Amino acid sequence: MKRVSFWVMLLALAPASWGLTIWGVDINGVEVQSSYYSILNAVGDGAPDPFVNTLGLSIPFRFQGHWLFRPEAQLFTLGYKYADGRAVPESSMWDNVTILSILINPAFGYEFPINPTLTASAEGGLAFILRVPVFLNGTTAADMAGPVTGWLMAGRFIYPDVGGGLTWQFSPLLAASFRLQLFYPIFDLWGGLPWYDELTYGATLGIRFTF
């Protein structure tokens, strides 16, 4: 029992800089996060700009001092209908297909230490959103599931992103992060849609468990 207590105390008091290092790359831990995003909708007869809450996970890697690589995955759901040859966000009050979206975002960035416990960062990447229908709401939803999914996945899943944030190492084993992100639907440039349709922006809160 004394040995168990000793190792628990050692881990609790371990410095945050311990992290896991492989081939010169520091793995700073695993970050559990939740985001709040607004998705712009250019179609007038669809739902107002949807607001979604995501759950996600990221693993920040640090290399060459302050350079950062942060692969992350986030999950969220959103209802769509199929109208006028395209998928349109739709309120749950009307027939719609609930789409599970899986956002995969391998982002690179640079950290700017402010003090020993607070760090600012700037990031950019190329995100991808995979979409799967998971729930049919209403009598016409079954007929819309295929067209909605097909339209969304027909090249409309690439989102370059930029962002910045702060990370606060408030204990040896835990850190809190706050990030602002913007995802641009680059397919609008050749798809004949308004440049801002499906543009996504918002904030991400995270808790990092340091190795």
CATH of the domain at 86: 2.40.160.20
pTM: predicted TM-score of the whole model, two decimal places: 0.85
* Residue 7 falls inside a structural domain: no
Which pLDDT belongs to residue 63? Answer: 87
* Residue 205 falls inside a structural domain: yes
The per-residue pLDDT string of the chain (211 residues; one tens digit each, 9 = 90 and over) reads 545 443 443 333 333 334 556 555 778 789 999 999 999 988 876 667 899 999 999 999 988 889 999 999 999 999 999 988 889 999 888 999 999 999 999 999 999 999 999 999 999 999 999 999 999 999 999 999 999 999 999 989 999 999 999 999 999 899 999 999 999 999 999 888 899 999 999 999 999 998 7
Residues in the chain: 211
* Residue 165 falls inside a structural domain: yes
* Residue 172 falls inside a structural domain: yes
Which residues pair with residue 78 across a beta bridge? 99
Q: Two tokens at 166? A: 């702060």
Which pLDDT belongs to residue 11? Answer: 39
* Residue 4 falls inside a structural domain: no
Cβ–Cβ contacts within 10 Å for residue 147, how many?
Answer: 17
* Residue 112 falls inside a structural domain: yes
* Residue 30 falls inside a structural domain: yes
| Residue 137 backbone phi and psi in degrees, to 5 | -115, 105
When divided into structural domains, the chain yields a total of 1
* Residue 12 falls inside a structural domain: no
CA distance 210 to 179: 18
| Full domain range(s) for residue 133 | 22-209
CA distance 130 to 149: 10
Which pLDDT belongs to residue 45? Answer: 65
